[in-house]
Amino acid sequence: MSEVTRILGAIQAGQSQAAEKLLPLVYNELRQLAAAKLAREAPGQTLQATALVHEAWLRVSGEDAPGWQGRTHFFAAAAESMRRILIDRARRKRAVRHGGDQHRLEIDDMDIAAPADDEEMLDVNEALDKLATLEPAKAELVKLKYFVGLTTEQAAEILGISAPTAKRHWAYARAWLYREIQRR
């Protein structure tokens, strides 16, 4: 049993000091996941990995947080929180009242910046919601890989499945999502 799993069990048992020990254990891993995801975002991204981790931490450790059933459950919830944060930001940026209909100009060469991947992220999110109703395990894998930036092996470990199974799930989910997005 890992230290994280032990502390999550202590938190669930009501030991208030255990919660103070959890963040230092998971912070670096959460920050690496957030940094990997944000590295693939469009240029001009203002959200930093530290801010993403902190916001996700507030969501998963709030008063209404469920009792964690282990490390996998905790990291799945953290990945879902990061996904929702990024989706909310993409929706907000796309809103007209927040300048969603304007184009960014680069000051250095005055070329129009490459369009942000917000549309793609929102399309994937909508299709992913549909996939989650049909294939929840495959949808969780997509969340961990696409929104958090985990490798297939890391996601397989968190989900408690073998790497070959994760690769098959990933191939299926990618094809399903592609087909679903193309229908729009």
Residue 31 · residue 53 · CB < 8 Å: yes
Q: How confident is the model at residue 42 (pLDDT cuts 50, 70, 90)?
A: low
**pTM exceeds 0.85:** no
The predicted model gives 30-51 an average pLDDT of 76
Residue 74 token pair: 């905790």
**Over the stretch 49-92, which tens digit does the pLDDT of each residue have?**
888 888 888 887 766 666 677 777 777 888 788 888 888 887 88
Q: Under DSSP, is residue 131 helix (H, G, I), strand (E, B) or coil?
A: helix
Rounded CA separation 42/114 (Å): 8
Which two tokens mark 150? Answer: 């985990």
